[in-house]
């Protein structure tokens, strides 16, 4: 334990020196850090010796590391070697499980989004649902990694999951695990318009999008516009978000990320070549659109390349850098290192991106927005990183539009309005408004 403490102190002291902090302050910080690490070692020793049952020191320390990082913000965490392997699997687009993106909030594990076409989505699971039990055992207090471990398993085996949704009784659902092959891009024709759905941003997304655009233009050389659907897309790889934005842009900045130091700024720009040939674009977003989805929506709107339709996005505008420890043998840190900003300098963090045409998909969804304390967003986290620009997410309000009472319950009103917008060339001033 003492050796562990000394290593930690030396790393912190080097970091402080590099930051040009005075030697006196470095000495005081190092001494306090040494004292607290020694205290940590003492606590582990007492737990190992006196706890009511035998403990696993490795699990204790991994839990302590994860707790330390999660105290910073909701998206910083420690990944053990198995977690890191699963993250790499998801980034390449194939794994076995139920098809859920989940996160932890105040001791509860909540669904960010069910993956398109996956077993969880087909079972009726929705963004915002809370997982309360797995196979009859309470999930209260479990970490995201622990819940993920229980939800994953061999294809063909089932798992019974209890979900809690606002205003409803708990629902127990039996979900059969499958090999989740994430094809992030799907497309189809909607009359004279192309519809492209991006469900996640992985290593294949940029290539798949280019193929989808080419296929749509081949099927209908007279396309009049494209709907890009990013609803309930929880994000993914930054490079994929840049590639998607670049597909619709000829030039200009796509996104910037700004870190702790004033000169710690990275900018990503488009290259020449709009794959759509300048067709009008409508982008669908909602409160399940996060991170990479918000980068794309913000870039296309700021460059006046697309009109956003739907509801205000999730508001995850922070950058996580995965830092392998000992080449991944001891896992990795997923650490928040910067914030994202749109080309116009708008912060995404906590605020989200508001649509140009605010439309609820259903009347029930309109009611949820009107009491938005029940909307799952970045602002709901008690320890969410601030926006850094002084703006706040809009509070409870009635959306500008919602489906009429006779609209089919299985219809997609947001998509209908996006197509209506494209029929008038993407000009909001020419669109007939349909208030709630």
- Which residues are catalytically annotated? 291, 302, 316
Beta bridge partners of 236: 201
> Cα angle vertex 233, ends 288, 240, to 5°?
140
Burial 290-320 (b: 16+ CB within 10 A, else e): bbbbbbbbbbbbbbebbbbbbbbbbbbbbbb
In 199-302, the DSSP E strands lie at 225-229, 253-258, 265-269, 281-285
Give the whole-angstrom CA distance, residue 285 versus residue 310: 5
| DSSP secondary structure, 166-200, as one string | TTS--EEEEEE-EEEE---EEEEEETTEEEEEE--
Contact 55, 64 (CB under 8 A): no
Beta bridge partners of 266: 257
Give the whole-angstrom CA distance, residue 17 versus residue 411: 60
Give the whole-angstrom CA distance, residue 373 versus residue 101: 21
Beta bridge partners of 95: 180
Give the whole-angstrom CA distance, residue 385 versus residue 377: 13
Give the whole-angstrom CA distance, residue 349 versus residue 137: 35
Q: Which two tokens stand for residue 34?
A: 């040494």
Alpha carbon 117 to its chain's center: 18
Give the whole-angstrom CA distance, residue 133 versus residue 147: 9
- Ramachandran class of 279: left when φ > 0, alpha when ψ lies in -120 to 50, beta otherwise: beta
Give the whole-angstrom CA distance, residue 38 versus residue 137: 36
Q: Where are the alpha helices (DSSP H) in 19-105?
A: 23-50, 57-70, 81-92
Q: Which of 90, 91, 114, 92 is nearest to 102 (CA)?
A: 114
- Ramachandran class of 429: left when φ > 0, alpha when ψ lies in -120 to 50, beta otherwise: alpha
Residue 423 class from Cβ within 10 Å (0-12 exposed, 13-18 middle, 19+ buried)?
middle
Task: Count other C-beta atoms under 10 Å from residue 412's C-beta.
Answer: 17
Give the whole-angstrom CA distance, residue 128 versus residue 174: 19
């Amino acid at each position: 334990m003492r050796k562990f403490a000394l290593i930690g102190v030396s790393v912190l002291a080097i970091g402080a020196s590099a930051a040009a902090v005075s030697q006196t302050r470095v000495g005081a910080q190092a001494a306090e850090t040494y004292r607290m690490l020694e205290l940590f070692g003492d606590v582990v020793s007492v737990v190992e010796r006196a706890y009511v049952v035998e403990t696993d020191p490795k699990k204790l320390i991994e839990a302590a590391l994860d707790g330390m990082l999660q105290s910073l913000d909701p998206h910083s965490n420690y990944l053990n070697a198995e977690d890191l392997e699963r993250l790499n699997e998801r980034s390449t687009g194939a794994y076995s499980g139920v098809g859920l993106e989940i996160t932890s909030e105040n001791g509860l594990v909540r669904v960010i989004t069910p993956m398109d076409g996956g077993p969880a989505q087909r079972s009726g699971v929705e963004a915002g649902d809370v997982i309360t039990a797995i196979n009859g055992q309470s999930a209260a207090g479990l970490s995201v990694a622990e819940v993920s471990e229980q939800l994953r398993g061999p294809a063909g085996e089932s798992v019974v999951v209890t979900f809690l949704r606002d205003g409803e009784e708990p629902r127990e659902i039996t979900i059969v695990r499958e090999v989740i092959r994430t094809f992030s891009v799907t497309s189809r024709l909607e009359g004279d318009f192309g519809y492209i759905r991006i469900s996640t941003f992985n290593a294949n997304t940029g290539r798949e999008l280019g193929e989808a655009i080419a296929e749509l233009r081949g099927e209908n050389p007279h396309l009049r516009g494209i709907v890009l659907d990013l609803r309930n897309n929880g994000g993914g790889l930054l490079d994929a978000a840049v590639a998607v934005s670049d597909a619709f842009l000829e030039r200009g900045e796509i996104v910037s990320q700004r870190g702790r130091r004033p000169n710690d700024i990275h900018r990503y720009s488009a290259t020449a070549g709009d794959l759509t040939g300048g067709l009008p674009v409508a982008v669908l977003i909602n409160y399940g659109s996060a991170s990479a989805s918000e980068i794309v929506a913000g870039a296309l709107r700021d460059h006046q390349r697309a009109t956003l339709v739907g509801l205000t996005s999730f508001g995850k505008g922070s950058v996580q850098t995965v830092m392998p420890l000992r080449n991944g043998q001891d896992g990795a840190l997923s650490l928040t290192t910067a914030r994202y900003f749109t080309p116009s300098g708008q912060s995404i963090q906590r605020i989200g991106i508001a649509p140009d045409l605010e439309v609820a998909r259903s009347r029930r969804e309109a009611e949820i927005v009107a009491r938005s304390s029940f909307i799952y967003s970045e602002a709901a986290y008690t320890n969410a990183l601030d926006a850094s620009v002084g703006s706040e997410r809009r509070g409870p309000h009635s959306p500008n539009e919602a489906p009429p009472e006779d609209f089919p319950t299985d219809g997609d009103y947001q998509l209908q309005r996006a197509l209506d917008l494209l029929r008038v060339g993407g000009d909001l001033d020419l669109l007939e408004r349909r208030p709630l």
